[in-house]
Structure 1
Amino acid sequence: MPFTARRPARWSWRTLLPWAVAVLPLLCGLAVMRWQTEHELQASSRATATEVSEHIETILASLSAAANQLLPKAGQPCAEVQLALRVEVTRNAFVRSTNLFDHDNLYCSSLFGDFDEPVQVNDYTDGQLWLMDGNSVTPGQALLVYRASQGSRGAITTVDGRHLQSALRLIGKGEALQIQVGKHWMGEDGVVRDGTPPVAANAPVSVASSRYPFSVHSGYPADKVGAVLRARYPALLSLLLLLGAFAGAVCHWQIRRANSPRAELDRALQANEFLPYFQPVVRKGDYRWAGVEVLMRWRHPSEGLVRPDLFIPYAEHSGQIVAMTRALMLNTAQGLAPHAALLEDGFHVGINITADHCRDLGLLDDCQAFLAHFPPGRVVLTLELTERKLIEPTPVTLELFEKLNAMGVMIALDDFGTGQSSLNYLRQFKIDYLKIDQSFVAMIGGDALSQHILDSIIELSGKLALGIVAEGVETEVQRDYLARHGVGFQQGYLFARPMPLAELLLALASRPGSPRLPQAAAPEIMRG
């Protein structure tokens, strides 16, 4: 956490060591997961190639049976054996055509009957198989041809290449599969090519059939390992990131534990480094901006924007949050007041407060000073109670809330349903709004229990005549569900992310019907 203005050198060991400690668990985990993934992909690739090979062997067994059935008829007149050829085509689902040859001349075909075409033995791998790129009947359509011979006579059977293509596509989804017969090969696109098929980038495997002269090549594309890691191990990767971040944070804290957080926060407060960021709140129906929640951000001179969860808990623990909130309210008022014409009457401005703000009546002065910057009725100040510290119902606290109510300051109970004292606050103090914690909103359409709790909170607010604001709305499904159930106000990334003052003013000025920013003010805002 940046609690000192004096920083070590950019590339000193103090800077690099926490990063190294944070990255080490991730690198080790990734190395183990990558090795395991590559091992599994290799086994999967071999299993797929083996399965494809066995399927093609089944097809070839059908072709072989048909060819051997017809082999004794080779040399007989075509007119006498043509019916037998066609019977084999009908009987075998994979057999597309049957043929007989004599003295290396194909003389009879199940498709045409009498035929005259030379048979080149050299076209067949081991004199048995030929992966050809179509014939005169179906040019360009892959065919796998099986040849059985006895002396100078023999039988030839063929199977349509689409059977092979289906096997490559269906059995090996996500893999690069090819079947190779001699000097020809075919991939999933069904095109027969010459030469050797390309070697896969990951888990390349080649399985040769022990029964027929063909082989199957399998593997995965170059990005497969990364895709498997992202798909199979998101939880583990997240855990490794968390462990790495935790280890790096602990290392960082240990290196800088001698620094004083209180002094750093005091320095930042004096330097006016705590800035207001604004997240709009929209009303139901037209979803126009009804107001904003002011969020504290720390713009550190060397580390940039610091997340609030890194410094606000400590500020609350040390009691410095009161002075920081007072400065935040002053900055907010001074930034918005010159442009109050951009705000609709009754524009809500929400400020977070804790138990420390309720121990004396100083908060009244802060609220009066804030409202004094604006024309009467232009701004409604809303104080949002957090439950990180318990607010005791002391006489001072009760007087404070009574006077705030008389002043017209609204009270909202922040993150309702997550703290231990929410219901007590409803009973002890005058509450105007409930803010539903984003954890319940995120469960809309998912976790049934959380959704029931959400519905119960909405119902409770209605019975108590309280306004209700839903935080953390990120999807249209959540927005519409909340609107249907009567939630009057919504807030979340679906509508807008927290933004600095300059962006807020420009957004307000861009709304239809809003007054334009003075030309002299726009450059000054952008510089701010």
Structure 2
Amino acid sequence: MPFTLNTRYNLLKRLMVIAIGAVPIVSGLLVMNYHLGKKLAETSQISVQEAVFSVDQLLDRMVATFDRANDLAGKPCAQVSGKLHDIIAISPHLRSLALTVNGEAYCATEKDPMAYISAFIKSGRGTELAFDVPSSPNAAILRVQTPGRNSGVVGTLYGIELRKELKSFQTGLTLILEFGDHYIWTDGDSRDPERPSQDEFSEWAESKKYGYTVRGGYSKGYTANEFRMTIAQVLPSLALVGVATSLVLYLGLMRARKAHSGTAVRDA
């Protein structure tokens, strides 16, 4: 019987040492998981806001060019065509410009049908992501017009300019720009068969200036993968703390047992 009790005592003591030694490891992993989730959530929220700011700046530069071209609107195309091309030449972010009068396009730097450009003007949309521009088949083209003017300007830029803005966010976050039903991201657009995953920590923000939406989120499984990589870096340190804790507790129990044994012998 004493042997059985002693065996149980030793077993319980070892289990207690192991359990207490595991506390720093488990608590460290829980804290790490909490901070990782908090970091990803904050990054997603901040990134969508910064993406709106960045794309707005790109479009602001585009519209600033319109101010130079708008003085030409209403004048004969033969008279101002060369000046339009000069504006394009010194504006690397621009693909094309077109002049309008009373909702109709009449002069453009690209050979798109005037009726095609006029259809966008009459739609009333300030911005449009198009994939059917006749002069650039298969390309993603963003079209922007100055609203509410009898004479105005329609300008376009290549979708790659939008992708450049999104690629500046090297955070592992997937950012998508939505212009109505059409959207674009760093590696594709809405013509692709599948929309990229944004299942984790999804956020969105809308541009009040230009009406597009930025959606951000991490792909499915991203958090788990980040957690695994972080574990590989910190687990050795946590394990060392756990072993040290177990060793200190074990030595403490051994000293306590020896002290108790010595007291029992003296009493005898």
TM-score range, shorter chain: 0.7 to 0.9
Letter in 1 for 2:215: H
1:158 aligns with 2:162: no
Q: CA RMSD in A?
A: 3.8
| Counterpart in the other structure of 2:266 | none
| Contact 1:63-1:157 within 8 A present in 2 as well | yes
Structure-1 separation of matches of 2:121 and 2:245: 68
2:213 and 2:105 mapped to 1: Cα distance?
28
Q: Deviations over 1:30-74 (max 9, x none)?
A: 121222222222333334333333321222012212223333433
In 2, distance between residues paired with 1:220 and 1:47?
13
Question: Which runs of structure 2 are paired with 1:122-521 in the superposition (5 Å)?
Answer: 127-193=125-191, 200-229=198-227, 236-248=234-246
TM-aligned CA distance change 1:247 to 1:140, over 3 Å: same
User: Which blocks of at least 5 consecutive residues in structure 1 are unaligned?
Assistant: 260-528
Aligned residue number for residue 100 of structure 1 = 99
**CA shift in 2, pair 1:53/1:227, >3 Å:** same
Quote the offset at 1:107 in angstroms: 2.6
The count of aligned residue pairs is 250
1:364-403 C-alpha deviation (Å, 9 max, x unpaired): xxxxxxxxxxxxxxxxxxxxxxxxxxxxxxxxxxxxxxxx
Distance 1:113 1:69, change over 3 A: farther
Task: Determine the structure 2 residue equivalent to 1:69.
Answer: 68
Kindly state the Cα deviation for residue 234 of structure 1 after the two structures are TM-superposed: 5.3
| Contact 1:34–1:225, Cα closer than 8 Å, also in 2 | no
Normalized per residue, which structure has more helix? 2
Q: For 1:44 and 1:149, how far apart are their aligned partners in 2?
A: 35
Instruction: Give the CA deviation at 1:148.
Output: 0.9
Change in Cα spacing, 1:88 to 1:146, as seen in structure 2 (3 Å) is same
Sequence identity (%): 22
- Aligned partner of 2:39 in structure 1 is 40
Partner of 2:26: 27
> 1:22 Cα deviation (Å)?
3.6
CA distance 1:181–1:16, shift in 2 (3 Å): farther
Distance 1:65 1:253 in 2: 75
Kept in 2, the 8 Å contact 1:101–1:107? The answer is: yes
| Amino acid corresponding to residue 147 of structure 2 in structure 1 | S
Match of 1:205, as an amino acid? E
Would the aligned equivalents of 1:202 and 1:222 in 2 still touch at CA under 8 Å?
A: yes
- Give the whole-Å Cα distance in 2 for the aligned partners of 1:60 and 1:75: 24
**1:17 Cα deviation (Å)?**
4.5
SS of structure 2 residue aligned to 1:241:
helix
Normalising by structure 2, we get a TM-score of 0.74
Shift of 1:28: 1.2
* Separation of aligned partners in 1, 2:37 and 2:101: 52
Q: Any conservation in 1 of the 2:121–2:145 contact (CA below 8 Å)?
A: no
Cα separation, 2, equivalents of 1:103 and 1:151: 8
For 1:109-167, what per-residue CA distance to the aligned partner results, in whole angstroms no more than 9, with x for missing partners? Answer: 1023884435335896x721111124112222111111113445431101110111122
Aligned twin of 1:50: 49
Cα pair distance change 1:150/1:233, threshold 3 Å: same
Q: Which has the larger radius of gyration?
A: 1
SS at match of 1:217: strand
Question: What is aligned with 1:399?
Answer: none
Amino acid of the structure 2 residue aligned with 1:80? Q
CA-CA distance at 1:8 after TM superposition? 7.2
8 Å Cα contact 1:107-1:114 kept in structure 2: no
Structure 1 residues 172, 73: closer, same or farther in 2, change over 3 A?
Answer: same
Q: 1:257 to 1:117 in 2, by over 3 A?
A: same
